Chain A
Amino acid sequence: GAGVSQSPSNKVTEKGKDVELRCDPISGHTALYWYRQSLGQGLEFLIYFQGNSAPDKSGLPSDRFSAERTGGSVSTLTIQRTQQEDSAVYLCASSRNRGQVIMNTEAFFGQGTRLTVV
């Protein structure tokens, strides 16, 4: 696609329910990233995919959070048993870099999914 696409754009869910957030990266981009931005806060790294593998998932805040990527393309971030502190904008980005070849790599972001847990 022309850009990184995320869906849904907005999601309101009740506390305790599970949610799935989807990211469609730019075609041909092997690297995919998930970030979280809480109200008034900076961007917090969650997880990085290279192809279908996740070599860095150090930012996932708890075991309620998981993510997968299939076919080297679409990624899904799943939050189980949502809590109010999970309310945030979840941003996905993709880039063309492979492993350590990063010098001229540019990351592109989607418009984000605004998650509200009530």
Chain B
Amino acid sequence: KQEVTQIPAALSVPEGENLVLNCSFTDSAIYNLQWFRQDPGKGLTSLLLIQSSQREQTSGRLNASLDKSSGRSTLYIAASQPGDSATYLCAPWFTGTASKLTFGTGTRLQVTL
């Protein structure tokens, strides 16, 4: 069964800290992987897309890495801000399930002043 695990489930950090969110998946055969954020009561906002041939992707203060062979991706957030507080979701697109993204349960991040 293709599963996605995100660690930690919740994280609270003071403003300004750099932090790493972890995602692991059970099947290394993926097309790509997306990171999303979800604010309470809202939909999902796409943050980064990493293709299976890439090792990392950057957008502003966000950097996502992908180690497909070991089934891992990390999302690095630099100089965290209170506005970064949200739930972060990792979603690989497994090649055996061309019809859908498979989601982890997310990491709930709170950045405090």
Q: Spell out A's residues near B (CB within 8 Å).
A: 4, 6, 33, 35, 41-43, 45, 48, 55-56, 59, 91, 93, 99-100, 102-112, 114
Contact = CB atoms under 8 A, between A and B. Distances in A.
Contacts of B52: 103
Given A43-B89, A110-B43, A111-B43, 8 more contacts: A41-B105, A93-B101, A102-B31, A102-B93, A103-B53, A106-B49, A107-B34, A109-B43
A44 B100 CA distance: 10
Interface in B1-58: 31-32, 34, 36, 41-46, 49, 51-53
Measured as residues with beta carbon below 8 angstroms from the partner, the interface class of chain B is: 20 to 34
B32 A102 contact: yes
Contacts of B100: 33, 45, 48, 56, 59
Contacts, number: 62
B104 interface: yes
Interface of B: 31-32, 34, 36, 41-46, 49, 51-53, 89, 91, 93, 98-106
Among the interface residues A33, A45, A114, which one has the most CB atoms of the partner chain B within 10 A?
A45
A43 B49 CA distance: 18
Nearest to B52: A103
Contacts of B42: 111-112
Contact of A91 (B34, B44, B46, B51): B44
Contacts of A99: 98
Contact of A104 (B41, B49, B104): B49
